[in-house]
Structure 1
Amino acid sequence: MAGGKLSPRQKMINLMYLVFLAMLAMQMDKKVLSSFGFMKEKIEDANLVASSNNSNALNSLKTKAGEQPEKFGELNKKAQEVNAASNQLFDYLESLKAKMSADIKEEDKANYESQKSPDVVDELLFNGDKLTPEGTKFVAEINTYNSTLKSILGDKASAELITNIDKRFNTNPDIAEDGGQKIEWIRSRYEGMPLITSIANVSQIQGDVKTTEAEIYSKLVGGQLESEVSMSNYNGIVALDKNAFYPGEKVTGSVVLGRYDATLKPTRVEFNGNKDYKNFKDGSVVVDMPAGAVGDKKIKGTIYFTENGEEIPVPFESTYSVIPKPNEAVISADKMNVVYRGLDNPITISMPGVPGNKVTAKAAGLKRIKGDSYVMRPGSGNQVNIKVTGMLDGKPVTSSKPFRIKDIPPAVGMVRNQYGTVKMPKSSVAKIVVAAGLPDFLFDLKLNVSSFKIKVPGQVAIPVTGTRLNARAKKALQRARRNDVITIFDIKAAVSGSNYKLKKVLPVSIEVTN
């Protein structure tokens, strides 16, 4: 189109072409302005969602701080300070956008193609080669937010978080495109820019505020959770399959990891039926109770914690066994393992390490009275075996022991509770009551005499039924003289309350003294 002499027609074509290019450029400029407007809408919508999410995260952290102040109290304090600083900058930016768009008519607020003039923003932020008070405040607010966040987070803040803060809230001068003179941050972004572009840029800074706020909350809570799951907070817990083992057995069980947290305090504890158990310390429930009677026992209950305002139950259950305390030596006279025929022989049967209710015993004539107390009334034979079975960890343990069966030893005839040869006057002999006894026997038995015979020297033996002399015996007694020895023999006796009859009763003698 340049050079040479052009015909009027060609000049007209060239002019129309230039007009077409100008119209195309204007159309493209309008589309760019609309794009900034649509971007602003998307950013503002995202900011609303981010505000809601941040509010939920902050409330959750506040709740945790109330539940576990030792762990989350300081984190919550920092989060509240970050929230206050973020709200301050966000609200200022919102007021700045309001000033920028104050002259836009209501019907033109969504007409972004009409918001192309830079005049409003230039007058609001710039005064020649200087900044207006509003422009100065704009830069100061961003710088203050940067330094405030770093101060709140302290030296332990992650490098990534500090880098993001400096990247998003940095007002250092920009380098010109030709690499020459530096341009103020605010001028390179807002001076001479269309109105909708400046408003969109401010909305983007608001989005950076919400994003940074969310990242800080995540780092604060995430850092605490990382500390909690650190292996230094775990203890090895030995969980054996049972609490006692015997020689020759294998010790079985497992070793597991359990996390210890002294700050995690239950809101309440139910322990073995106690709905308000108060004995817990440093994050653990203290077990302190009487062992109880001999037998298997259960420890059962529920620990309640509050999480996010909701009570969470954590049930627990375990078992233990109470065994008799070994306060006596076990001494057995091997030759004295004897039970007597016809008698209720008391026997105590137990098995070390096994509760009484898990022990059973069997033998001919054996009967359980209560607990570990038994009686045995042996029958015929010379020996009986008592077989004892105990349940230990669900498995039977068996033992047996033999006992000899013996008859009750021979009794002795007695008068006046004396045996052998008893001295008394003849007048007293007629009044005697014949009895039988078992001196030094283990059992205190009552023997009932049913009959006997009496022999007076020089007279025939006279049988007597019962325990007193009959008429014939008294008549024979009249012939007795001084120093005569009267013999009472063939005494028949039985154990009271039993049908067992004594096989033999030794005689008793009476020496007449006058």
Structure 2
Amino acid sequence: MAGGKMSGRQKMINLMYLVFIAMLAMNMSKEVLSAFGFMNEKLVENNVSTSEKNALAYANLATKAIEQPAKFAPLKEKADKIKQYSSEFYEYLEELKQQMIADVEKKDDYEAMDKTDWLDAYFFKGDTYTENGQEFLNKINGYRNNVIDALGEKSKFVPVLKSRFTTDDVKDDETGNSVAWLRARYEGFPMVASLTNFTQIQADIKNTESDIITDLLGGQLESEVSMSNYNGIVQLDKNAFYPGDNVTGSVVLGRYDPSLKPSKVILDGKNYDNFKDGSVVLDMRAGGVGEKDIEGTIFFMENGKEVPVPFKSTYSVISKPNAPVVSADKMNVVYRGLDNPISISLPGVADKDIKASAPGLQKVGAGKYLMRPKSGNTVKISVSAKLADGKTTTTSTDFRVKDIPAAMGSVRGQFGTVRMPKSGLANTPIGAGLPDFLFDLDLQVTSFKVKVPGQLAIIVNGTQFNAAAKKALSKAKRGDMINIFDIKAQIKGNTYKLKQVLPVSIELTN
């Protein structure tokens, strides 16, 4: 096109054509660079979401390990190793990414990330690798091998790990020659492509964690639902019966699954065939006064075999009402400093004929009382009732008096260890609560102390960080654990003094 004799006009046309082609190539390159950048953003978002889900799964496993150490403690030990290996490798990649784009002014200007020189110089030196390039390979291989060692060579995840984190040579489709993995994946690639590649490896780490922890929990929970892990539960329509009454109720499994049909039931040594909605329906004569046993075995089919599930319960047969019934509405104790609901009644006796007394006891309605206990470890409630025959029966019941349990510090309504960004923590109020307490109490934090790694503890009055605490927090780094302790709190509208408020820790995410 440029050879031979051409007019000036033709030369100009040819030159414009070449410029036009070059511009198309440049525009296409920019679009590709931007596409890599947008893909990287999506991967980053997905990694954050997967991290949050993994944190919940780890917390769930930790709780189960405390509740059932024999079953879940070995799984937690294995999961903790996976978590440690994953966190270390993930952080290494994050530091590598930040180092690579440190000189890029606008971190979202992906079209400016078209150079290859930074990573080429960082990983490669002639025909060999730099120390940094070899370290990168060692990190990938080390992570893969460590996780396989933790799971065992027979784990179903071994092929997945070897595939996701391979560093084997890559075959060149054009020449048929083998190319070293590191050079095939990173040499001569634009910076934004390598950035996205690193983020994809981070995604593989998070997905590997998710797959493994889900499998660990799921495998154990699957065994938990086996029929052999259940006991039969006898549910009676009431706890006491009069002579001649029918004892009514049902026998069910702990899961209360109406779809389960028993193959047979042995009750008190005899076959029993009154079934309904997965339950054994009880209907038999109560007999004479006294305590009675209900005992037997319920059989279910599992894997072609009958699985026996024993059950046992007791009930009482009484002659007639002869003593009031006193029960705490919340639990079998009353709490100091609180209005504890108490119900006092007697079947067949009007409320006006029942009198109750105790230190701190106040009647608030028919059969309803509030107990605010005084000093001491027990309180006795005395009750007298006038029966239909004109006789009076009296009784007394002792209740244990307990202090309100220790409250827990909280951030954003979360207790224990909370993950959040540094900027959010500086402006987030510190709270306190009683997550497992039966009473809903409104707690107000009045002061607390903040400990940032490497900094002196700061005393804060109120609920939010003061200037000194914010200054100390500004020196914290990603991954640092900020401790909020010595929390002082009070119950709104109540003079009771809480004995203790447990600390809360915040792991910084940036």
Q: TM-score range by the shorter chain?
A: 0.3 to 0.5
Q: For the pair shown, which has the larger CA radius of gyration, 1 or 2?
A: 1
Question: What TM-score do the two structures reach when normalised by structure 1?
Answer: 0.46
Question: What TM-score do the two structures reach when normalised by structure 2?
Answer: 0.47
